[in-house]
């Protein structure tokens, strides 16, 4: 080489600078800021410098503490004092201007309530479980009927029998059989037990119809009796009925109607209380953490197995349509996650209910996690299949032939030649599937979005997204993201280390 050292150094800088600068600015800097935010209680909105502040407070906390004259002038050039409101305020500022103002205001020791250093509190609250209850796996009791609502006209037969009727004493069963009658797969509310039907005769009474009794009084009566019924409180029941009748404007013929209505509403209350107390199911929710692990494991195992198996089949001698099939299996991979998600949503919401008769797919907590794994496998396994197929085709034919001459069975050839020689492909595919599954956002977001919490299908990355932008907890979100970063680094690091050791060199 004939270059002078100075030229060499200049070239080194010139060639590396563009990529390094952009990478540092848009990746490393935000990464550092992200870690910094993770030790604050920032909500993601509050600016570090106040937008407006009362005069006295502004002078005491900020202006009077600024030491340099230049800085004070700078602050005053941004904030203007408004006589009418008695406040200092500023317009929105960006870029270097903002950074300079933030530096000055930080130096005087001011920080807004929602942008304070909280040390490791975010991390601590994650480890101690002081986060949203839907974060960790949990068991919870699902209440199928809320005592404050009306009795539904129709209930799901399977759950009603299994989770409610079986828990009742014979006496309670008697009561239940007066209310719900089996019809086909569901139970139907007996017409006489419908609350509107029960109340109707009272509303039709001539005294109410003519306005002698106000509708407010009828509402009070009905509400009182219902409430008494829920608690089976005889005294309260007698009181609200008594108060209604005691208005003294009823004809003798109206009293039995009132009495009947009150009695029936009282028994409805009893049944409602029973229903809400007994018709409960204990359920398990995977939570964010549980689903993330489930999704990652499902993806790694199923997509790699499927991809390897398809590659093996396509690699067989005599498969004529190999290239066409390979192209087809790879095809879902070029589609965006959003398109894939919407294609499958369309199938789950429209086609499958129609041809199978099963109505709920993505909205069923028992199916949703599996369906998401299924769609993700459908989308990604073609990618891994291409890698396995390339690996298989790189295995030298003479080794296999030598094994065949030695009399190795196909199973032995697979076990002792193909698998070991394919180890590098396995390493790469498993590495990529772990990282992709843990980072998968678009697909789940487009398929289910925020309602994922209801069916237990919120991956870690989506929970972080909601923390940051919907729940206004940017500090917590970044602490979670930092933990995710550590997890991915450790898991993939261990996996690479373990699997690289097993790879054989030809």
Partner 1 sequence: MKFRVKPVHFLEAFMIILAFLYLFPILFVFLSALKPDAEIMLHPLALPSKLYLDNFVKAWTVMKFPKTVLTTFLITLFGVAGILLTSSMAAWMLARTNTKYSWVLYSLFAFALVIPFQIIMVPLSVLASDMNLTNPQGLVLLYWGLGAPMAVFMYHGFVKSVPKELEESAAIDGAGTGYIFFKIVLPLLKPITVTIAILDALWIWNDYLLPLLIIKQGTLQLAQMAFNGQFLKEYGPLTASLVLSALPIMVFYLFEQKYIIKGIAAGAVKG
- DSSP label at residue 121: H
Q: Does 75 bind partner 1 (CB under 8 A)?
A: no
Binding mask 332-371 for partner 1 (x = CB under 8 A): x-xxxxxx--xxx-xx--xx--xx----------------
Q: Does 451 bind partner 1 (CB under 8 A)?
A: no
Q: Does 489 bind partner 1 (CB under 8 A)?
A: yes
Q: Tell me which residue of 387, 381, 379 sits closest to 425, measured CA to CA.
A: 387
Neighbours of 2 (CB within 10 A): 4
Q: Does 184 bind partner 1 (CB under 8 A)?
A: no
Give the number of residues in contact with partner 1, rule: CB under 8 A.
Answer: 94
Residues 115, 187, 221, 465: which binds partner 1 (CB under 8 A)? 465
Between the CA of residue 457 and those of 23, 127, 344, 372, 461, what are the distances in Å? Answer: 33, 21, 16, 8, 11
Interatomic CA distance for residues 139 and 282, integer angstroms: 7
Q: Tell me which residue of 491, 440, 433 sits closest to 308, measured CA to CA.
A: 433
Q: Does 377 bind partner 1 (CB under 8 A)?
A: no
Q: Does 94 bind partner 1 (CB under 8 A)?
A: yes
Nearer to partner 1, 143 or 338 (CB): 338
Q: And the tokens for 50?
A: 């106040």
Residue 335's SS3 state is coil
Q: Does 484 bind partner 1 (CB under 8 A)?
A: yes
Interatomic CA distance for residues 330 and 384, integer angstroms: 9
Interatomic CA distance for residues 183 and 175, integer angstroms: 18
Residue 80 sits at φ, ψ, to 5 deg, of -115, 145
Interatomic CA distance for residues 224 and 448, integer angstroms: 42
CB 70, min distance to partner 1, A: 23
Compute CA 14 distance to the chain's CA centroid, rounded to the nearest angstrom: 46
| Parallel, antiparallel or unpaired: strands 186-189 and 87-89 | unpaired
Nearer to partner 1, 267 or 427 (CB): 427
Q: Token match 């487009």: residue? A: 446
503 near 427, Cβ under 8 Å?
yes
Residue 131's SS3 state is coil
Q: What is the CA radius of gyration of the chain?
A: 35
Residue 138's DSSP bridge partners are 285
Q: Does 18 bind partner 1 (CB under 8 A)?
A: yes
Interatomic CA distance for residues 220 and 348, integer angstroms: 47
Q: Does 112 bind partner 1 (CB under 8 A)?
A: no
For the chain, give the longest Cα–Cα distance: 121
Contacting range for partner 1; rule: CB under 8 A; set: 144-152, 165-173, 212-220, 375-383 = 375-383
CB 396, min distance to partner 1, A: 16
Q: Does 310 bind partner 1 (CB under 8 A)?
A: yes
Q: Does 251 bind partner 1 (CB under 8 A)?
A: no
Q: Does 317 bind partner 1 (CB under 8 A)?
A: yes
Residue 87 sits at φ, ψ, to 5 deg, of -125, 150
Contacting range for partner 1; rule: CB under 8 A; set: 71-79, 276-284, 294-302, 471-479 = 471-479
Q: Does 319 bind partner 1 (CB under 8 A)?
A: yes
Nearer to partner 1, 160 or 344 (CB): 344
Q: Tell me which residue of 388, 369, 366, 363 sits closest to 297, measured CA to CA.
A: 369
Binding mask 23-42 for partner 1 (x = CB under 8 A): xxxxxxxxx-xxx-x-----
Neighbours of 404 (CB within 10 A): 12
Binding mask 409-448 for partner 1 (x = CB under 8 A): ---------------xx--xx--x--x--xx-xx--xx--
37 by Cβ neighbours in 10 Å (0-12 / 13-18 / 19+) ranks as buried
CB 61, min distance to partner 1, A: 24
CB 139, min distance to partner 1, A: 28
CB 355, min distance to partner 1, A: 7
Q: Does 56 bind partner 1 (CB under 8 A)?
A: no
Contacting range for partner 1; rule: CB under 8 A; set: 22-30, 163-171, 208-216, 237-245 = 22-30
Nearer to partner 1, 248 or 410 (CB): 410
Contacting range for partner 1; rule: CB under 8 A; set: 150-158, 189-197, 229-237, 473-481 = 473-481
Binding mask 185-224 for partner 1 (x = CB under 8 A): ----------------------------------------
Residues 68, 148, 321, 359: which binds partner 1 (CB under 8 A)? 321
Q: And the tokens for 104?
A: 């000055």
């Amino acid at each position: 080489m004939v270059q002078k050292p100075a030229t060499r150094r200049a070239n080194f800088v010139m060639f590396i600078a563009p990529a390094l600068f952009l990478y540092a600015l848009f990746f490393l800097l935000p990464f550092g800021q992200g870690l910094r935010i993770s030790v604050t209680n920032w909500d993601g909105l509050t600016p570090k410098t106040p937008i407006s502040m009362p005069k006295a407070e502004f002078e005491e906390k900020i202006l009077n503490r600024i030491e340099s004259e230049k800085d004070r002038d700078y602050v005053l050039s941004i904030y203007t004092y408004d006589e009418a409101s008695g406040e200092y305020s500023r317009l929105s500022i960006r870029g270097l201007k903002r950074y300079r103002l933030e530096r000055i205001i930080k130096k005087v020791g001011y920080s807004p309530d929602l942008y304070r250093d909280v040390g490791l509190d975010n991390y601590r609250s994650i480890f101690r479980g002081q986060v949203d209850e839907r974060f960790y796996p949990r068991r919870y009791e699902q209440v199928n009927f809320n005592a404050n609502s009306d009795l539904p006209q129709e209930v799901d037969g399977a759950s009603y029998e299994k989770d409610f009727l079986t828990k009742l004493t014979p006496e309670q069963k008697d009561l239940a059989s007066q209310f719900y009658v089996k019809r086909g797969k569901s139970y139907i509310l007996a017409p006489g037990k419908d609350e509107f039907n029960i109340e109707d005769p009272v509303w039709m009474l001539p005294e109410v119809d003519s306005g002698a009794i106000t509708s407010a009084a009828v509402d009070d009566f009905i509400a009182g009796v219902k409430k008494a019924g829920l608690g089976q409180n005889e005294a309260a029941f007698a009181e609200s009925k008594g108060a209604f009748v005691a208005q003294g404007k009823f004809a003798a013929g109206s009293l039995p109607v009132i009495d009947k209505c009150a009695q029936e509403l009282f028994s409805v209350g009893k049944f409602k209380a029973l229903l809400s107390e007994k018709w409960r199911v204990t359920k398990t929710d995977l939570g964010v953490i549980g689903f993330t692990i489930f999704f990652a494991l499902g993806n790694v195992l199923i997509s790699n197995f499927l991809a390897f198996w398809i590659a093996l089949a396509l690699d067989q001698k005599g498969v004529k349509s190999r290239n066409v099939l390979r192209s087809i299996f790879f095809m879902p991979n070029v589609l965006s996650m959003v398109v894939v998600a919407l294609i499958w949503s369309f199938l789950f919401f429209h086609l499958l209910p129609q041809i199978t008769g099963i109505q709920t797919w993505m909205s069923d907590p028992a199916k949703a996690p599996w369906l998401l794994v299924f769609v993700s496998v459908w989308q990604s396994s073609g990618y891994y299949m291409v890698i396995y197929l390339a690996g298989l085709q790189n295995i030298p034919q003479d080794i296999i032939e030598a094994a065949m001459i030695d009399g190795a069975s196909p199973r032995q050839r697979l076990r002792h030649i193909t698998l070991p020689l394919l180890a590098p492909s396995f390493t790469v595919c498993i590495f990529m599937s772990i990282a992709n599954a843990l980072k998968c956002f678009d697909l789940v977001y487009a398929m289910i979005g925020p309602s994922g919490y209801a069916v237990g299908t919120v991956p870690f990355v989506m929970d972080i997204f909601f923390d940051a932008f919907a729940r206004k907890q940017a500090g917590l979100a970044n602490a979670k993201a930092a933990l995710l970063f550590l997890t991915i680094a450790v898991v993939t690091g261990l996996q690479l280390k373990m699997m690289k050791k097993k790879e054989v060199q030809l």
